């Protein structure tokens, strides 16, 4: 399991009253700077931290003055704090106000309502395709995103319709006078190369509907009854077969599998006392998935499509030589401002969106490969003043085994962003302590740091197969803080290599970090 549980990591518990800072790691104590903080009673003395590595850098945002520094030049597994780097590069390249425009073209003649030719949707890289839009012009998210549903309990769905963008396009096609399509319906996904993510969890592609997931929600009935299973977006490409039973005991074990021929099976049992449980299936051919969903949206609007649904989109697209002009455009979907996309990536740590930003960096520069996108990200980081030796990145999400970041590099990036004209949008994209995203519920509203920290969290968990246990490879948090005196700080904190017995153990590290930030808030 890697990079699937978001939260805060902790490093020090602070006890006020002395004039020096002490860090206790294992059996050793090191004086690192003059301060009003004494941390000799920190949890580093706990046996689980004996072999852990820590990196900390806390600085004044305006002056750059270092308040606290421990191993800040060392490299750490970043987890999802790596998303700070790709989102800032993408924001710099596209700007916060950029609008994705996804057009649909009619390739052929329209006679008496019949299109004698193909209807082609040209994917623009729009990350949500209207599927999270709210009436007030925001992208809706839940604090625990459906993308994490298979790894973490408690993920929930947004109330928005993932098909709303396709439905809008279908209505426009109908309004253009097309009532029947004699040719094919095709998705042009050539904006950049479709490729597998480095983790192999999903496909990175210019077309994405519902994050290329099928959501399966299981609700218990009475003990002994079949559970109720609902799924979305429902479509002709798949069918869901449930064999989940409701049981009296407080046990839930649900497994979802693809058994071929478009069949998804849901097996297991769910406690009668359980809340609904969300599971997902990742679509393997996003373009063909989107094609069928678009055809069905057209049909709901009364547009007849003669082309069969069971043809792969790639087969169709390979046989077309479409060239588009404005006179052929029959529909256009416009996205919300790009800053909303960045906010979604950061608040819920949306992995597939973060990786797609890499390919969008390539597309912005008229290239097509993921590797080219990474090179443009690297060029941005150089522009921001970061040393090549302080950041190693091979993806956008922070899940590649080679990803490494130093606290110093993270702070340098945050400092650079603070001086850019898109800083406020970027700042607003970060989870807020106690309030939302991966920081929701970390502290209670009465905490002195509630709402005072905007930061990206990161967690990477892996398995220790020899001992049949888990290892917290990384817990990190990096962002901005306003203290009691009004002082603005930039901070990055990492801990690597902590043995844990379960994902829930990471909350112990999280609570310790919240405690240290409360003390820093009071002192600075």
Give the closest residue to 53 by CA, choosing from 401, 406, 386, 403.
Answer: 406
For residue range 379-388, list pLDDT tens digits in order.
999 999 999 9
- pLDDT at position 8, please? 31
* Rounded Cα gap, residues 97 and 425, in angstroms: 10
Residues of the chain with CATH 3.40.710.10: 15-94+339-465+477-523
Confidence of residue 45 (pLDDT cuts 50, 70, 90): low
- pLDDT at position 34, please? 45
- pLDDT at position 38, please? 43
Confidence of residue 89 (pLDDT cuts 50, 70, 90): very high
Both tokens of 190, joined, read 């050539």
Alpha carbon separation from 30 to 16, 22, 38, 406 (Å, rounded): 17, 5, 11, 20
**Lookup result for tokens 């060392």:** 74
Pairing of strands 488-500, 53-60: antiparallel
Confidence of residue 42 (pLDDT cuts 50, 70, 90): low
* Rounded Cα gap, residues 94 and 165, in angstroms: 22
| pLDDT over threshold 70, residue 128 | yes
Q: Is the dihedral of CA 423, 429, 435, 441 positive or negative?
A: negative
- pLDDT at position 481, please? 97
If you average pLDDT over residues 311-316, what whole number do you get? 94
Give the closest residue to 147 by CA, choosing from 159, 139, 157, 138.
Answer: 157
341: helix, strand or coil: helix
- pLDDT at position 300, please? 98
Residue 185: CA count within 13 A, CB half-sphere? 29
Residues 6+ positions from 441 with CB-CB distance below 8 Å: 143, 434
Confidence of residue 31 (pLDDT cuts 50, 70, 90): very low
Q: Is the dihedral of CA 508, 511, 512, 513 positive or negative?
A: positive
Confidence of residue 70 (pLDDT cuts 50, 70, 90): confident
Residues forming beta bridges with residue 462, ordered by sequence position: 471
- pLDDT at position 437, please? 94
The one-character DSSP state at 337 is P
For residue range 349-361, list pLDDT tens digits in order.
999 999 999 999 9
- pLDDT at position 505, please? 84
| pLDDT over threshold 70, residue 10 | no
* Rounded Cα gap, residues 85 and 89, in angstroms: 6
- pLDDT at position 252, please? 96
Q: Is the dihedral of CA 318, 324, 327, 329 positive or negative?
A: positive
The one-character DSSP state at 274 is P
Both tokens of 21, joined, read 């800072």
| pLDDT over threshold 90, residue 2 | no
Portion of the chain with pLDDT greater than 70, in percent = 91
- pLDDT at position 319, please? 86
Q: Beta-carbon neighbour count of residue 136 at 10 Å?
A: 6
If you average pLDDT over residues 191-196, what whole number do you get? 97
For residue range 134-167, list pLDDT tens digits in order.
999 999 999 999 999 998 889 999 999 999 999 9
Alpha carbon separation from 291 to 166, 186, 207, 311, 509 (Å, rounded): 10, 6, 10, 10, 45
Portion of the chain with pLDDT greater than 90, in percent = 80
**C-beta of residue 402 within 8 angstroms of C-beta of residue 394:** yes
**Crossing angle (nearest 10°) for helices 83-94 and 370-383:** 90
CATH superfamily of 15-94+339-465+477-523: DD-peptidase/beta-lactamase superfamily (3.40.710.10)
- pLDDT at position 220, please? 97
Pairing of strands 239-247, 263-271: parallel
Across the chain, mean pLDDT equals 90
Most confident of the ranges 52-61, 144-153, 320-329, 421-430: 421-430
Confidence of residue 506 (pLDDT cuts 50, 70, 90): confident
Q: Give the per-residue SS3 of 432-498.
A: ECECCHHHECCCCCCCCCCCCEEEEEEEEEEEECCCCEEEEEEEEEEEEEECCCCCEEEEEEEEEEE
| pLDDT over threshold 70, residue 225 | yes
Peptide bond into 15 cis (omega under 30): no
| pLDDT over threshold 90, residue 321 | no
Confidence of residue 29 (pLDDT cuts 50, 70, 90): very low
* Rounded Cα gap, residues 216 and 360, in angstroms: 29
187: helix, strand or coil: strand
Confidence of residue 18 (pLDDT cuts 50, 70, 90): very low
**Lookup result for tokens 């004039």:** 19
């Amino acid at each position: 399991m890697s990079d699937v549980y978001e939260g805060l990591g902790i490093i020090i518990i602070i006890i006020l009253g002395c004039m020096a800072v002490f860090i206790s790691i294992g059996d050793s104590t090191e004086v690192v700077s003059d301060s009003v903080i004494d941390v000799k009673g920190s949890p580093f003395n706990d046996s689980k931290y004996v072999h852990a590595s820590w990196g900390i850098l806390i600085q004044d945002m305006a002056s750059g003055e270092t308040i606290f520094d421990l191993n800040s030049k060392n490299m750490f597994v970043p987890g999802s704090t790596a998303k700070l780097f790709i989102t800032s590069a993408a924001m710099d390249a596209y700007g916060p106000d950029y609008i994705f425009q996804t057009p649909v073209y009619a390739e052929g003649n329209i006679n008496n309502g019949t299109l004698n030719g193909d209807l082609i949707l040209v994917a623009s890289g729009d990350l949500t395709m209207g599927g999270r839009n709210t009436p007030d012009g925001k992208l809706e998210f839940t604090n625990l995103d459906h993308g994490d549903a298979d790894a973490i309990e408690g993920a929930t769905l947004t109330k928005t319709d993932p098909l709303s963008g396709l439905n809008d396009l279908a209505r426009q096609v109908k309004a253009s006078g097309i009532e029947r399509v004699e040719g094919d319906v095709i998705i042009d996904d050539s904006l950049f190369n479709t490729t597998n993510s480095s983790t192999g969890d999903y496909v990175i592609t210019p077309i994405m509907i519902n994050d290329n997931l099928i959501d399966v929600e299981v609700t218990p009935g009475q003990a002994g009854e079949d559970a109720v299973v609902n799924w979305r977006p429902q479509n002709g490409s798949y069918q869901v077969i449930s064999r989940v039973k409701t049981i009296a005991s407080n046990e839930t074990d649900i497994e979802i599998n693809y058994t071929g021929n478009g069949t998804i099976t849901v097996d297991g049992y769910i406690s009668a006392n359980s809340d609904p449980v969300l599971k997902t299936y990742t679509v393997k051919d996003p373009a063909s998935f989107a094609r069928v969903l678009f055809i069905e949206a057209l049909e709901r609007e009364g547009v007849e499509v003669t082309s069969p649904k069971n043809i792969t989109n790639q087969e169709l697209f390979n046989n077309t030589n479409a060239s588009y002009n404005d006179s052929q455009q029959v529909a256009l979907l416009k996205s919300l401002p790009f800053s909303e996309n960045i906010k979604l990536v950061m608040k819920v740590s949306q992995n597939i969106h973060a990786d797609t930003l890499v390919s969008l960096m390539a597309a912005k520069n008229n290239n097509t490969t993921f590797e080219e996108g990474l090179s443009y990200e690297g060029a941005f980081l150089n522009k921001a003043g970061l040393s090549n030796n302080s950041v190693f990145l091979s993806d956008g999400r922070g899940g590649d085994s080679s990803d490494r970041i130093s606290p110093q590099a993270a702070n340098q990036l945050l400092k650079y962003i603070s001086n850019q004209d898109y800083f406020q949008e970027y700042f607003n994209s970060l989870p807020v302590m106690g309030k939302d995203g991966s920081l929701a519920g970390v502290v209670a509203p009465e905490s002195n740091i509630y709402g005072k920290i905007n930061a990206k969290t990161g967690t990477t968990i892996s398995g220790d197969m020899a001992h049949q246990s888990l290892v917290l490879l990384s817990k990190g948090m990096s962002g901005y803080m306003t203290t009691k005196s009004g002082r603005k700080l930039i901070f990055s904190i990492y801990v690597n290599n902590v043995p844990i017995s379960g994902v829930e153990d990471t909350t112990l590290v999280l609570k310790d970090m919240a405690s240290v930030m409360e003390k820093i808030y009071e002192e600075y």
